Amino acid sequence: MISVGDKAPEFVLKDRDGRDVALSDFIGKRVVLYFYPRDNTPGCTRQACAFSGLYQRFKEKNVEVIGVSRDSVESHRKFSEKHGLGFILLSDPELVAIKAFGVWKEKKLYGKTSFGVVRTTFVIDENGKVERVMPKVKPDTNAAEILAEL
């Protein structure tokens, strides 16, 4: 997994409208980059809605919020519309950013082992360096915790 002080890996992924978005597009701004397992699941929906509810306060601090999952562009569009999400969601079906940031891991659920995205949040500074890593975050409190620290 990426550590504090590392240069954040560059990626280009599609947003909910099918446009290319590169992490380097945000040089000069801090970025809260959070990885989550799946659109429209209870925990992921709570986390996204929490970020959306605080998004204006992040913007006031010149911080961009970006959510990344394996879901399709179309899934992100529907998820955003359904919940009124104002921040960027990126589709990573090929696991480009997910693997680069080290959040694709073995998980156990009900005795079964599989691979999936481990809910993790990174804060990236204005120069593209990782300033905070938050592994296995709680969906209900993640956004507020980060905002309080900023």
Residues that are catalytic: 44
Token pair, residue 66, equals: 């970006």
Angle between helices 42-60 and 142-149 (to 10 degrees): 20
Q: Is the dihedral of CA 113, 37, 11, 95 positive or negative?
A: positive
Helix or strand holding residue 41 (H, E) = none
Residues 90 and 13: beta-carbon distance below 8 Å: yes
Instruction: Say how far apart CA 133 and CA 105 lie, in whole Å.
Output: 16
What's the rounded Cα separation, in Å, for the pair 90 and 17? 10
Residue type, 120: T
